[in-house]
C-alpha cells in the first residue's frame, strides 16, 4: 500500500485522555498494544472467538481484535491496567482470581477480568447459569472455568455486602433406559 492512510484518534484510556496517529487498518488491539504498551490486551485468535483481547468500551465489553482503532475516537476504554488501584495493588476482583486459583497460564485472564468487571458494574445478582452465559465469550484451556466462575460469584456478592451462598451443585442428567424408546 503506497498511499498509507492515518487518522488521529483521541480517546480516554484508563481514565487518561490519549491521542495517537493511527494507521486506519489497525485494530484497537493493535493500537492499545503498539501505541500504549497496554500488553494486558492479549491477541489470541484475532477473529473474535476467544475473548483474550476483550476491553471495556463505554462500559460494554468488546473484542478489541475485531474493532477498528479509528472507531475508538471519543470513547472511554478500560483495560486490566485500569482495574488495578493507583498504588499498584490488585482490585478485589483480581485478588479473588488469585485466591480462587482462577488463573493458570493466564492468557485468558485479562479478558475474563474485563468481562467480569463489566458484569459486576451492572450491580445485579446473577444465578450461576446467568453468569455462565455472561462469561461464555471467553475460552480458557486450563482452569475448566469453575474457579473463574467461583471468583466472579464471590466478588458479586461481597461488593453488594451480601454473604456468599453455598454453591448449587449442578445435578448431572442421567438418562434411564426407559427414557429411550
Partner 1 sequence: MYDIEHLYEAKTVEEAVSLRLAYPDAVILAGGSDVLIKIRSGKLAGCDVISIYGIDALRGIHMEEDGTIVIGSLTSFSHITQDPIIEKNLRVLGEAVDKVGGPQIRAIGTIGGNTCNGVTSADSASTLLSYDAVVELTGPEGKRLLPLADFYLGPGKTDVREGEIQTSLRIPKESYEGHEGYYIKFGMRSAMEIATIGCSVNVALNDEKTALTDLRIAYGVAGPVPMRAKKTEEAFRTAELTCDTVKAIGESVLSDVHPRDSWRAPKNLREHLCRQMAEDALVMAVKRSGGVISGMPESDVPAKDFLDITMFPEAGLDPKEVAR
Q: How far is the CB of 12 from partner 1 (least distance, A)?
A: 17
Stretch that binds partner 1, among 11-19, 41-49, 79-87, 92-100 (CB under 8 A): 41-49
Contact code string over 16-35 relative to partner 1, x by CB under 8 A: -------xxxxx--x-----
CB of 110 vs partner 1, minimal distance in Å? 13
**Site residues for partner 1, window 104-163 (CB under 8 A)?**
115, 122-127, 129-130, 133-138, 160-162
Q: Classify the C-alpha dihedral 50-114-42-22 as positive or negative.
A: positive
Could you tell me the smallest distance in angstroms from the CB atom of residue 7 to partner 1? 8
CA–CA distances in Å: residue 135 to residues 14, 85, 95, 123: 22, 24, 18, 16
**What is the strand order of the sheet 6-13 is part of?**
16-23, 6-13, 76-78, 54-57, 60-63
Please tell me the distance from the alpha carbon of residue 154 to that of residue 106, in angstroms, as a whole number: 20
List residues binding partner 1 (CB under 8 A).
1, 5, 7, 23-27, 30, 46-49, 51, 54, 60-63, 66-68, 70-71, 115, 122-127, 129-130, 133-138, 160-162
Amino acid at each position: 500500500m503506497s498511499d498509507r492512510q492515518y487518522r488521529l484518534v483521541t480517546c480516554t484510556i484508563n481514565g487518561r485522555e490519549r491521542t495517537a496517529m493511527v494507521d486506519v487498518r489497525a485494530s484497537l488491539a493493535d493500537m492499545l498494544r503498539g501505541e500504549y504498551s497496554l500488553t494486558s490486551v492479549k491477541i489470541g485468535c484475532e477473529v473474535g472467538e476467544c475473548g483474550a483481547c476483550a476491553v471495556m468500551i463505554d462500559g460494554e465489553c468488546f473484542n478489541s481484535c475485531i474493532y477498528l482503532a479509528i472507531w475508538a475516537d471519543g470513547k472511554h476504554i478500560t483495560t486490566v491496567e485500569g482495574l488495578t488501584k493507583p498504588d499498584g495493588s490488585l482490585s478485589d476482583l483480581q485478588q479473588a482470581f488469585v485466591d480462587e486459583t482462577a488463573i493458570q497460564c493466564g492468557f485468558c485472564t485479562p479478558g475474563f477480568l474485563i468481562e467480569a468487571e463489566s458484569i459486576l458494574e451492572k450491580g445485579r445478582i446473577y444465578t450461576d447459569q446467568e453468569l455462565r452465559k455472561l462469561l461464555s465469550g471467553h475460552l480458557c484451556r486450563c482452569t475448566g472455568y469453575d474457579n473463574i466462575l467461583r471468583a466472579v460469584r464471590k466478588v458479586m456478592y461481597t461488593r453488594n455486602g451480601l454473604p456468599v451462598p453455598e454453591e448449587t451443585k449442578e445435578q448431572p442428567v442421567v438418562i434411564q433406559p426407559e427414557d429411550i424408546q
